[in-house]
Amino acid sequence: MHSSGEAPAVIVSSAVRKFADTPGGLLPLLHEIQAGLGFIPSDSVVTIASGMGLSRAEVHGVISFYHDFRDKPGGQKTIHVCRAEACQAVGSRQLEAHVKTRLGVDYGETTVDGRFTLEPVYCLGNCACGPSVRIADDVFARVDADRFDELLGDI
């Protein structure tokens, strides 16, 4: 998901420049790097730390705290399956099992063809019409096993 085509080091250093003076700028900075590269490379931690006046431990601590940030590349698209209660009430446990079998991966893993990374999510705010699935930035409602297969076919 390296979308910009620029060298990773350039993306990292320009993001650092952009947010160096922003109060509490580390989160937006990390989002920017991840949007550009698809992940936050471990070797960028030093650059980020020195640019933001933080220790490497502090930067690593933030990256590892938040579920959204990855330190390794993922698939082209991330599929989030909602695991929360409102979706459970309409069959998300069964959907979850189906999705894992269908993609041949568990949560946190990427399909062999590199197309999808599967992640759990705890609520997409679509709770009146679950089970909910998010593929990249699109949310889908009332997803059962058949509907999921249909969605995969449409991508």
Partner 1 sequence: MVKIYIPADTTACALGADKVAAEVALQAQKRGLDVELKRNGSRGAFWLEPLLEIESGEDRFAFGPVYPGDVAGLLDAGLHESSEHPLFLGRVTDIEWLSRQDRLTFSRAGVIDPLSLDEYRREGGYEGLDKALAMTAGEIVEAVTDSGLRGRGGAAFPTGIKWRTVLNTPSDQKYVTANADEGDSGTFADRLLMEADPFQLIEGMTICALAVDATQGYIYLRSEYPKALQVLNQAIAIAEAANLLGSDICGSGRDFHLQIRVGAGAYICGEETSMLESLEGKRGLVRFKPPLPAIEGLFGEPTVVNNVLTLAAVSTVLAKGAAYYQDYGSGRSRGTLSVQLSGNIRRGGLVEIPFGASLRELVEDFGGGTASGRPVRAIQVGGPLGAYLPESQWDTPLDYEAFTDVGAMLGHGGVVVFDDNVDMLEQARFAMEFCAVESCGKCTPCRIGSVRGVELIDKIGKNDGRSANLELLEALCETMDVGSLCAMGGLTPMPVRSALKHFPGDFERGTGNGIER
Stated as kind and residue range, the H or E segment containing 119 is strand 116-121
Q: Which is nearer to partner 1, 18 or 112 (CB)?
A: 18
Distance CA 102, CA 79 (A): 12
The DSSP code for 144 is -
Verify binding: residue 124, partner 1, rule CB under 8 A: yes
Closest CA to 8 of 63, 73, 77, 76: 73
Verify binding: residue 1, partner 1, rule CB under 8 A: no
CB of 113 to partner 1, least distance (A): 25
CB of 104 to partner 1, least distance (A): 23
Q: Which is nearer to partner 1, 87 or 105 (CB)?
A: 87
SS3 147: helix
- Cα 149 off chain centre by: 21
Tokens of 153: 């076919």
Verify binding: residue 55, partner 1, rule CB under 8 A: no
Q: Which is nearer to partner 1, 111 or 141 (CB)?
A: 141
Q: Which stretch binds partner 1 (CB under 8 A): 5-13, 95-103, 109-117, 135-143?
A: 135-143
CB of 114 to partner 1, least distance (A): 22
Instruction: Give, as ranges, the residues between 63 and 122 that touch partner 1 (CB under 8 A).
Output: 65-69, 80, 84-90, 93, 121-122
Q: Kindly report the number of other CB atoms within 10 A of residue 128's CB atom.
A: 8
Verify binding: residue 142, partner 1, rule CB under 8 A: yes
**CA diameter of the chain:** 51
Closest CA to 105 of 89, 83, 120, 92: 120
Q: Footprint of partner 1 on this chain (CB under 8 A)?
A: 23-28, 30-31, 52, 58, 61-62, 65-69, 80, 84-90, 93, 121-130, 132, 134, 137-142
